[in-house]
Structure 1
Amino acid sequence: MKTIQITNLGPATLESYLDTRRMLLRKADELSVRISRLEPVRSLETMNEILALDKDRRLVIEMIASCSYVIEWLETGRRPGNRRGIERRAGYQREVLMDPAKMPMTPNVTLTSRPMDEEATENRFRLEAALRGLTERERNCYMLAHGESYSFAEIAALLNISKSSVSTYMVRAQRKVTDNVSSILILVG
């Protein structure tokens, strides 16, 4: 059974990460020296020992890389690799995309005498009738864009068509839906 030694490294501060990285660098050097002492390989046991030490050394090197990443983050105050901080990002980079279906709904107060359910039912019938006037491809594009909030690029990838085709289908579908919704007469008896 392998024993695991747990070391309390103290609070997560820049100094503690620097000390930890120094300790890990010493350990990696120690493992490299032990590996070099066992070379050249003369037996199977020696080869297995070298492989085990090399595995440990690779793990320590990964830990050094992680410490270096955190140290750079703590020293610069921003994520390593980023050229600009979050405060200087472009609008599309600061934007948080959200599914409209999950947004909180606020009741729409109207001054009509009809109950809300009847008006919602009428609008739903109008929309369904308007969508029936679309071709299958136009309906797919329209539903993915407006119902599922997919971008044109995502729709193109899903339907295996070009982005410009999606744009064309959307223009046609929007024109047909607008024309159809205004011209449909719903009779509720």
Structure 2
Amino acid sequence: MLSWADELIQEYTDGRQDLKKRADQIDRDNPIAMEDLKHINSMIESMSFSLEWMTTGRQPGTYRGVDEKAVYQRRSYENIDLIPDIEMQLREENDINKKHLFMTKEEKIILADILASFSLRERQCYILHMAQGMSWSKIADELGVSKSMVQQSINRARKKINSRINAS
């Protein structure tokens, strides 16, 4: 469900939160513990730098180089393995529609751009609902969020799709 980039970003976010909790627990009166705090703060800074790089697709603090937002997620969507292949379903239904279903490279790029414009939650909810056919309740249970959050995420994703279609 999640792309490798989303998984890595989540791991770094969780790790940074754990480091921040550890830093909050350090005794500020102990000189040895203060040395540990310097190392922990250095790790937090490194993780924040890496997270910014992964989420924006460009090196923090520079204005040259990769100039695309969410470049890593965009590239992973170009493989489009997360949308189920319906060609087999059509063949199973007595060859109702014999035309070959495929996406051109341009269509894949457009779909990748649209998916990359979604937040992680919007992308999860939209794909589970539209591609996997899950109900809002099942999605809410699986993701551990409220049903209204799922509905709101799907509606925001649909608005982004409609604005992309209207812009074309």
Q: Fold match, TM over 0.5? A: no
Higher Cα Rg: structure 1 or 2? 1
In the superposition, the TM-score normalised over structure 1's length comes to 0.36
